[in-house]
Amino acid sequence: MFKTSIQLFLVFPFICSVSRPTVKLIIDTDGVYDDIRGLTIALTNQNVEVIAITTVHGGVTANQSAANVARLLRAIGKHNVPVFIGAQDSLVPKGPIQVWEELFGSDGIGGVPDVEPKTLPSDFNSAQVGNAVDAIINLTKSTKDIILVGLGPLTNIAMAIRKDPDISKRVKQVVIMGGNYLGVGNTQFNSTAEFNFLMDPEAAHIVLSSLHTTMIPWDTCFLKGPEYNEEVDYEESLNQKTKLSYFLSNITARGRQYNKASGQIYAFVDDIAVSVAIDPRIAVRNMTLCSSVELKKEAVARGQVTVDWLTTKYDIVDRAFKTSSNKNDANWLSQTFVTEYNVKRVNEMLIRAVKLSDQSTSSKLQDNIIFIAV
C-alpha cells in the first residue's frame, strides 16, 4: 500500500506538468484546399477548442467557403462547430470572384464533389443565421483569450475592428497567413503582393494599423518550401490509410498537379499559421518589423507589405532583424514575421490529425482507397 502511494505521488506531478491549457480559436477562412488542410489540425487537436469558423471571399465566395467547411466538418464528424458567413467582397468592391480553377478547381477544393464525403445541398444551408463580423465581435466579448486566425483576405477582421475597435484589446493574439516582407508574390494579377492581401489591401491595412499580429508571410512558405522538402515529405499526411487522408489527397490533387507542372513545390501554407497559433514554439525564427500595406490603386505593388527596415537592428542571438520600437514615426505598428518554422512538427500535427479523425478505418476502405500521387 505504501509503495503504491509513492508511485502515485511520483506520477501525478508529471501528469500535471504536461497538461496544457485549451487553446481557443476563431478561424477566418476563404475555404480553399490549403485552408481546409490547416483546419483539420485545429479541429482534431484535443487541446484546441474551435469557438467558430467564419468565412470570407477569396479563392471562392464566402458561401462556397462555408459549404467547403461544412463538408470538412462532416468528414471529421464535428457537428457542433458554428460557421458564420462573412464578407462577399472587399472593402473597395472588386466584383465577382474569378476562381483560379487550374489550381483550386471550380469549388476551391479540387472540384471533386463525388469524393467522400460527397458534396450535399445541405452544405450550403448549414451556416448560422448571424454574420461573421458580429460573430467575431460577440464571441470575443463572451469568451476570453481567443486567438484569431486569419487564413483568407482580412475583410471580416477589418470590419469587426472598424465596428468595435476594442476587439484589438480583447483578443489574445492574431495570427495571419498572408502578406510578405520581401516582395515575393503569388498572384496572377501582380508579382509583388500575396494573394490574401491583394484581395483586400484596405482590410489588410486596417488590421496592421490596429494591432500587432504574428504573420506567416508568403515569402517564408515559398522560399523555405524547397529547403524543408529535404526534411519532410509534404504529402505524407495524404497517404495515410484513413478517410480524412483520402479526402485531403483528392481535394489537393489538382493543386499538386498544377504545382508540379509549374515547377513549384507543394508545401505547407495555412497549416503553418494554424500550427503556430496552437503552439508558438513552432515559429523558430521571427523578425519584428514596422509595417504597412501599399494602397495606391495604380501601383504595381498594390497589396504588398511595406517594411521600415531603417528602424531595425540586427539581433546577434536570434540572428534576425528586429525593430527597436512598437511603431515608427509614421505610426506603422510592429508585426512579427515568422521566417523559419519547425516543419517536422507541422508535418507531425497533420499526420496526427488525419489519424485521429479515423482511428479504426475499415478493411474495406483500406483495400479500395486509391491515394492520388502526382
C-alpha cell at 352: 496526427
Task: Give me the pLDDT at residue 7, please.
Answer: 43
Q: Which helix (H) or strand (E) holds 194?
A: none
Q: How many CB atoms lie within 10 A of CB 305?
A: 30
- Angstrom distance (rounded) from CA 305 to CA 184: 10
Structural domains in the chain, sorted by start: 21-368 (3.90.245.10)
Pairwise pLDDT comparison (57 vs 3), residue with the higher score: 57
Per-residue pLDDT of 59-76, as tens digits, reads 999 999 999 999 999 999
Map residue 324 onto helix, strand or coil.
Answer: coil
Per-residue pLDDT of 87-118, as tens digits, reads 999 999 999 999 999 999 999 999 999 999 99
What pTM value is reported for the model? Answer: 0.90
Q: How many CB atoms lie within 10 A of CB 296?
A: 9
Q: Are 188 and 152 in contact (CB under 8 A)?
A: no
Per-residue pLDDT of 284-326, as tens digits, reads 999 999 999 999 998 999 999 999 999 999 999 888 889 989 9
Which one of the listed residues 28, 30, 34, 89 is annotated catalytic? 30
Task: Give me the pLDDT at residue 358, please.
Answer: 67
Per-residue pLDDT of 199-245, as tens digits, reads 999 999 999 999 999 999 999 999 999 999 999 999 999 999 999 99
Can 30 be counted among the known catalytic residues?
Answer: yes
Task: Give me the pLDDT at residue 191, please.
Answer: 78
Beta strands 173-177 and 214-216 are parallel
